[in-house]
A and B are shown apart, each in its own frame.
Chain A
Amino acid sequence: MWTTISYICWAISAVLAAWMLWDWYKTDSEYSEEVLTSSREGEIEAVSEKHQLKN
């Protein structure tokens, strides 16, 4: 039984790894590098500061 479970574990790992690689490829193809790397540290804090000033 444990040997079978071991093979199932390999199969699950392979399927999920393949899915992540496929999604990675799809995402990188669909969106520009500029959009994907557009996150900036502290942006939300800056906005909340502005929000408080307006109030």
Chain B
Amino acid sequence: MTIATVAADKKEVPKRVSLLRVLGPGHVWALGVGIVLVGEFTGWNFSADKGGALAALITCWFVGLLYTSVAMIDSEVTSTVAAAGGQYAQAKHIIGPLMAFNVALFLVFAYTMLEVSDAILAGDTIVARAATEGLTHNSFIAVCIVVLAFLNYRGVLMTLNINFVVTALAYATIVILFFSVQPWSQGAVLKLGDMVTPQNALPYGWIGVIAAFQFAIWYYLGIEGTTQAAEEVRSPARSLPYGTMAGMITLLIAAALTWYVCASVLPWQYLGVTFYPLWDAAKMTGSPVLEFLLFWGTILSAIASANGCINDAARAWFSLGRDRYLPTWFSAVHPKYRTPYRSILFLLPIALAFAFIADLNQAITFSILSGVLHYTFMSINIIMFRNKWPVGSIRRGYTHPFHPVPAIMLLTLCIITFFAIFLGYGSQLIAMVIFYVVVSLWFHFYRYRYVRRGDQFTMPWPKPQGY
């Protein structure tokens, strides 16, 4: 049977349509780093407010370990389960439908709320730069979300080509700032010794370090989004591990450069509350060129992140429709552009509504909460995956080392982060968990009757060990 082809003759109606396999490792990198890089321009620095500048650095390392585990685990499982929906498809095959339904919701919430946060950030940054009385951020939010949705609607290749360029430009501004402040010569511009002293390094002690975990997540939040491209990359087994691991290395470098520059020019009390740590650091250098570059770096990083989030949220929603976990109407693929166009359009007004009514802190918190729930699932998922299909029983594009150490480390760090979130946003955490319990009950007792149970498991794997 011929599958998923658009007819060469435009007048001929194709029998079947599916997503296009056109992406390479560079696109995977652009998707992952594009989503995350905004966290260096804002977000991570709130960890300094929770525990001081040194806490922001300590949590940068530990959360870096958490995300390195995420990247390694994701690379292994996704190189085997190469389907749109990423971790949703993994959960479906490895744990079961109820977990998969929850994971897809974690993904949609995490990415939609991150998209909302990005659009608010872009709008607020422009308004701050304009300094014009009466100017609000709404028009800039709208144009950001609608233009990016339009790009996503028109095709994944163009969307991620643009994301590659935008992400690379934003990244370049961090590197330029780093070398412009003469990092090899402390005292010339940077004054780390004056800014971070033994007296103020950890103003709230070690409990401050624990509390800082909540916002340190922003150094890397979203790198796991690379897996959503699994069904559209030409060679998933090669491209996904390469793109994800290269993205993680890129982000570890960016996080280190960002902390070093910002902590060296901004006092921790200010660093912990500003929305623009890198832009403010550039202002502190007194260079109008650097200030201009970091303003655009902030805007471009927000745009790249929102772009990737629209891509990922739409694919997770699309996958739910394709398996009848939601109405199949959402699983439509555009015959010309080969994108999940109905899912993109459905999520567009939701993102706009949240962006107009929510504030940045609320949106960020909901995104982080969903993300951490998702990472907790991943640590359990990889242990079950290795137990059911040990190494050698199925072909893997990548096998991560030191199993089960990364899984245990990931689970431990997730527990610490939940505690940190509970300290700062306990009521939101409880509300969100109640929400997931309610929708799980709805899925189990009502929606699952519509699912074609045999059709949802598509991977040509042998029976799991012990079954």
Contacts and interface: CB of A to CB of B under 8 A. Distances in A.
Interface string B123-144: 0000000101011100110110
Contacts of B135: 2-3, 6
Given A10-B139, A35-B13, A42 B335 contact: no
Nearest to B329: A37
B323 A41 contact: yes
A24 B139 contact: no
A28 B85 CA distance: 24
B147 interface: yes
Contacts of A43: 3-4, 18, 458
Interface string A1-45: 011001101101100110111011001000101011111111111
Contacts of A42: 83, 458-460
A30 to B, nearest CB: 8
A41 B319 contact: yes
A37 B83 CA distance: 16
A41 B143 contact: no
B146 interface: yes
B334 interface: yes
B143 to A, nearest CB: 4
Nearest to B460: A49
B16 A39 contact: yes
B17 A36 contact: yes
Interface string B100-125: 00000000000000000000000000
Contacts of A35: 13-17, 335
B18 A40 contact: yes
Contacts of A23: 153, 341
A20 B140 contact: no
| B interface SS class | loop
B128 to A, nearest CB: 11
A21 to B, nearest CB: 8
Nearest to B236: A45
A26 to B, nearest CB: 10
A36 B134 CA distance: 45
Interface SS of A by simple majority: helix
A41 B83 contact: yes
B4 A44 contact: yes
Nearest to A38: B16
Nearest to A20: B153
Contact of B140 (A9, A40, A44, A47): A9
Contacts of B459: 42, 45
Contacts of A16: 146-147, 149-150
Interface in B278-311: none
B21 interface: yes
Given A31-B13, A41-B84, A46 B322 contact: no
Interface string B311-341: 0000000010111000011011111100001
Nearest to B142: A13
B345 interface: yes
Interface string B1-24: 001100000000111111101000
16 contacts: A3-B135, A6-B139, A9-B140, A13-B146, A20-B150, A20-B345, A27-B335, A35-B15, A36-B333, A37-B322, A37-B331, A41-B322, A43-B3, A43-B458, A45-B82, A46-B458
Interface of A: 2-3, 6-7, 9-10, 12-13, 16-17, 19-21, 23-24, 27, 31, 33, 35-47, 49
Interface of B: 3-4, 13-19, 21, 82-85, 89, 130, 132, 134-136, 139-140, 142-143, 146-147, 149-150, 153, 231, 319, 321-323, 328-329, 331-336, 341-342, 345, 348, 456, 458-460
